[in-house]
């Protein structure tokens, strides 16, 4: 219908009449403004547009009373869209030559673009805006056109023809009109209207008043667009040429393959055949065999140097390198296993017993399984160099159906948790692999990346299984409590499947895309604390506590393990170096402050290095035989070798002081003494607590004060009205965070000492959670706390009655080193700490 309308319109109104407005004398007029969005209209054109916005429809209706004329102007674009209040200054006066109202109350209008104009003023009118427009009068060219102007027009026509050829979007009618016209303004309008340029550029070309400058700008724009099209065409040609070359290489390769088959030289494809053979030798599950067969078939069809071929080849290499059925035979000799564990580590009874139980169960299950022939020896990796490798045997037992246990060794640093994992591998005669999880925060570190990514690799689990070379290694996940998480995912959640015996038989790495059986792996994890491990992950592991060492245990470890090791590593194994027991104890007391033995090993090594230097200065090792060198280390010689003492006892007073009591605390590095100091001064009953304490410990202080207020009738408080006293409780070493409920009795004892102005008995440490009714509840970390009390010279320790069974499980040397009294109520604590003078009457 609209095509018929246009034809009829042009038949009645030839172009010479339509464009006659350019030669008329025009003056300023007021028009309703028709805002356009990303559309710029030029004179000498007819266009059909839809009007949908209510304000624009109102402007079209208003045009009925203004000779059907509007001022069409493009709106400025902002970050959020088009601004309805900011049109460009330059636009086009248009006449509505036909309007059609659609069923949805919108319009489709046909506009005849008459002449260019500039907005002089703008003011709102009802729902639309009215603008006063000043026409743009073209200058710069005169009639008739001189040769220079004609040459410019010819150049523009030629550039536009080239532009139309490049873009393929200019219709023939427009191209013919541009080639025929010799009117500069009409030429400029036709080209600007049909060229595909940005609205900002079209506004610029619409705004010129000098016709010559406008034509030059149009020529420059067309030449620039043609240059860009030329570069694109050149790039496209190069890419197509390269693709044709690759296609030619592919055809020639296929032809060469067929020629080789005819000549009997089809073994050129041995690379693929060898890959298939390597995968088949590993005896993977049917799912993996089917997957690799498809991938090899795809690989054969690809060009050798194509990126996808490289990705597939790397993927298949990983499949071929992984152990799918290789396993090592477990040692069933309990005595040998126990001997190996005792050789490497002192103590750790619970951990060793659990490992020996596992070996015993494996041995019973081995007796019920059929034997298989053919030994597949375990891979000897650098980490497994100290682990005996299984020798070839005529028969061996297939892996039992028992699932690998998930053990978690928890204890202070330096207690030998990591090295215990390697000892377990030695005892079982399995391969050993270790992953450090400290600081891992990307889920892909566990599950791997999709192989579609550039540089993709499997996760650490699959990488370590390839390194192990067997399906049943001892797998140590070190520092599992140090995992982090961020926007890249939560590695702890990815470990839920790995560390679940019911799920890890179907573990799927993102890179492999096939299931891998981890159920035969013996997973061992280590942690310093359980608090930072998510509960779902913690629930999948069997917790085995590795407590800190006492002084006598450290002495034994130093004599049996550390000193011989450091003498060997520092070249003095043949010398006669003797460490007196008291010297080692002094190193433990004054140069280390730890639950483990890491610093003890470090200080022992430093001492031996000093001795080695002195031996060399005296000529040993060069002129004298080192075996004749003798040295006995006594306590008196330590400061000469190690310097001044590094550690003194914790903030413990030897004499009794009012308001000062001593609690015991557990930390990730072991136990420690916590002195508590309290003072009282007149006030309004406030309680001030300092020392970098956590919320739980602050609550314990409030509970202690509330309990003493509720029992004020039992004790001889120096102040009759406690509500008029302020109390300040301070726990020294304020830079160290402290929290937990076990300081309840310590805080209550310090407050009672201050209220009664009676100092507690000195050299007594205590621990226990206090309730509002005065009950003393049990605590954890008993061994570490007692070691701290022994280390700081405490004569007696008060423990909750419910911890008595834990006390009897401790080593005899710890129980013999300190006196312990068990208490059930706060009154029992006060009875030990204070004389009866604090009591008003008998209390129970």
Buried b (16+ CB within 10 A) or exposed e, 431-448: bbbbbebeebebbbbbbb
Catalytic-role residue among 352, 467, 520, 785: 785
Using the structure block, give the residue that is written with the tokens 């673009």: 113
What DSSP string runs through 627-696? Answer: GG-EEEE-GGGHHHHH-S------S--SS--TTEEEEEEEETTEEEEEEEEEEEEESSS-EEEESSB-HH
Which residues face 542 on adjacent strands?
A: 407
User: In this structure, are strands 507-508 and 542-545 parallel, antiparallel, or unpaired?
Assistant: unpaired
Q: Is 436 a catalytic residue?
A: no
Distance (Å, whole) CA 89 – CA 117: 8
Handedness of CA 730, 733, 735, 739 (dihedral sign): negative
* Cα gap 295→316, rounded to integer Å: 8
**Residue 812: how many CB atoms within 10 A of its CB?**
8
- The maximal CA–CA distance of the chain, rounded, in angstroms, is 129
Helix (H, G, I), strand (E, B) or coil at 659: coil
Which residue intervals of 521-562 are DSSP H helices? 535-538, 551-557
DSSP type of residue 714 = T
Asked if residues 588 and 559 have their Cβ atoms less than 8 Å apart, the reply is no
- Find, among 87, 12, 80, 27, the residue nearest to 55 by Cα: 87
Please tell me which residue in 700, 742, 749, 750 is annotated as part of the active site: 742
Separation CA 622–CA 687 (nearest Å): 70
DSSP 274: H
Spatial separation of the C-alpha atoms in residues 24 and 182, rounded to whole Å: 19
Contact (Cβ atoms closer than 8 angstroms) between residue 473 and residue 431: yes
CB neighbours of residue 727 within 10 Å? 24
Establish whether 121 is a catalytic residue. no
CB atoms within 10 A of CB 753: 24
Active site residues: 742, 785
């Amino acid at each position: 219908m609209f095509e018929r309308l246009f034809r009829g319109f042009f038949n009645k109104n030839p172009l010479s009449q339509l464009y006659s407005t350019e030669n008329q004398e025009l003056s300023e007029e007021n028009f309703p403004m028709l805002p356009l969005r990303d559309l710029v209209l030029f004179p000498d054109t007819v266009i059909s547009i839809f009007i949908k916005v209510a304000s624009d429809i109102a402007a079209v209706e208003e045009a009925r009373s203004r000779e059907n004329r509007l001022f069409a102007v493009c709106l400025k674009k902002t970050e959020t869209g088009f601004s309805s209040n900011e049109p460009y200054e330059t636009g086009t006066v248009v006449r509505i030559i036909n309007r059609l109202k659609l069923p949805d109350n919108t319009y489709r209008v046909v506009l005849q673009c008459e002449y260019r104009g500039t907005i002089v003023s703008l003011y709102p009118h009802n729902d639309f805006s009215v603008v006063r427009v000043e026409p743009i009068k073209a200058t710069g060219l005169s009639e008739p056109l001189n040769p220079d102007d004609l040459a410019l027009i010819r150049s523009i026509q030629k550039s536009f023809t080239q532009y139309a050829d490049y873009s393929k979007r200019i219709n023939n009618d427009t191209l013919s009109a541009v080639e025929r016209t010799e009117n500069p303004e009409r030429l400029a309008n036709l080209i600007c209207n049909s060229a595909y340029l940005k609205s900002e550029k079209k506004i610029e070309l619409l705004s010129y008043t000098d016709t010559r400058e406008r034509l030059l700008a149009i020529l420059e724009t067309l030449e620039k667009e043609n240059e860009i099209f030329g570069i694109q065409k050149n790039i496209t040609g190069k890419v197509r040429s390269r693709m044709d070359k690759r296609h030619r290489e592919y055809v020639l390769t296929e032809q060469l393959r067929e020629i080789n088959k005819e000549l009997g030289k089809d073994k050129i494809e041995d690379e693929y055949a060898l890959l298939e053979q390597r995968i088949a030798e590993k005896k993977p599950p049917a799912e993996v065999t089917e997957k690799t067969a498809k991938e090899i078939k795809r690989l054969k069809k690809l060009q050798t140097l194509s990126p996808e071929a490289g990705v597939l080849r790397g993927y298949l290499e990983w499949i071929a390198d992984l152990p799918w059925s290789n396993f090592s035979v477990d040692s069933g000799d309990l005595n040998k296993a126990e001997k190996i564990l005792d050789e490497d580590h002192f103590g750790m009874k619970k951990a060793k017993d659990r490992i020996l139980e596992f070996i015993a169960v494996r041995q019973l299950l081995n007796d019920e399984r059929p034997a298989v022939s053919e030994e597949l020896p375990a891979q000897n990796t650098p980490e497994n160099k100290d682990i005996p490798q299984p020798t070839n045997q005529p028969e061996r037992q297939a892996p039992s159906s028992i699932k690998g246990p998930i053990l978690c060794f928890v204890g202070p640093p330096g207690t030998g948790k990591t090295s215990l994992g390697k000892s377990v591998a030695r005892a079982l005669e399995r391969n050993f692999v270790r992953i450090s999880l400290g600081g891992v925060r990307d889920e892909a570190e566990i599950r791997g990346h999709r192989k579609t990514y550039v540089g993709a690799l499997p996760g650490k689990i699959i990488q370590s299984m390839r390194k192990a070379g067997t399906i049943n290694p001892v797998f140590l996940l070190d520092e599992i409590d140090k995992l982090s998480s961020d926007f890249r995912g939560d590695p702890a959640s990815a470990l839920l499947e790995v560390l679940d015996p019911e799920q890890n038989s179907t573990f799927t790495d993102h890179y492999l895309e096939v299931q891998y059986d981890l159920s035969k792996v013996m997973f061992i994890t280590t942690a310093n604390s359980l608090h930072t491990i998510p509960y779902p992950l913690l629930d999948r592991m069997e917790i085995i506590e590795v407590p800190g060492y006492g002084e006598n245990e450290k002495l034994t470890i130093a004599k049996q393990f550390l000193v011989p090791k450091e003498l060997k590593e520092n070249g003095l194994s043949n010398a006669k170096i003797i460490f007196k027991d008291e010297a080692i104890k002094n190193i433990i007391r004054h140069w280390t402050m730890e639950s483990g033995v890491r610093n003890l090993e470090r200080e022992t090594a430093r001492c031996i290095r000093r001795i080695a230097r002195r031996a060399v200065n005296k000529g040993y090792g060069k002129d004298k035989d080192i075996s004749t060198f003798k040295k006995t280390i006594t306590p008196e010689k330590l400061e000469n070798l190690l310097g001044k003492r590094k550690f003194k006892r914790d903030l413990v007073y030897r004499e009794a002081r009012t308001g000062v009591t001593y609690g015991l605390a557990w930390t990730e590095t072991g136990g420690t003494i916590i002195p508590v100091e309290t003072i009282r001064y007149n006030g309004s009953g406030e309680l001030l607590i300092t020392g970098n304490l956590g919320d739980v410990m602050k609550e314990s202080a409030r509970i202690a004060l509330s309990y003493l207020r509720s029992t004020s009738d039992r004790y001889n408080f120096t102040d009759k009205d406690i509500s008029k006293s302020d109390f300040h409780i301070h726990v020294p070493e304020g830079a160290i965070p402290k929290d937990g409920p076990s300081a309840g009795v310590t805080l209550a004892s310090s407050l009672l000492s201050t209220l009664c102005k009676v100092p507690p008995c000195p050299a007594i440490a205590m621990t226990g959670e206090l309730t509002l009714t005065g009950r003393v509840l049990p605590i954890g970390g008993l061994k570490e706390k007692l070691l701290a009390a022994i280390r700081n010279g405490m004569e007696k320790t008060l423990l909750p009655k419910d911890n008595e069974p834990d006390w009897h499980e401790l080593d005899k040397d710890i129980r013999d080193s300190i006196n312990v009294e068990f208490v059930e109520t706060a009154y029992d604590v006060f009875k030990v700490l204070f004389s009866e003078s604090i009591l008003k009457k008998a209390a129970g």
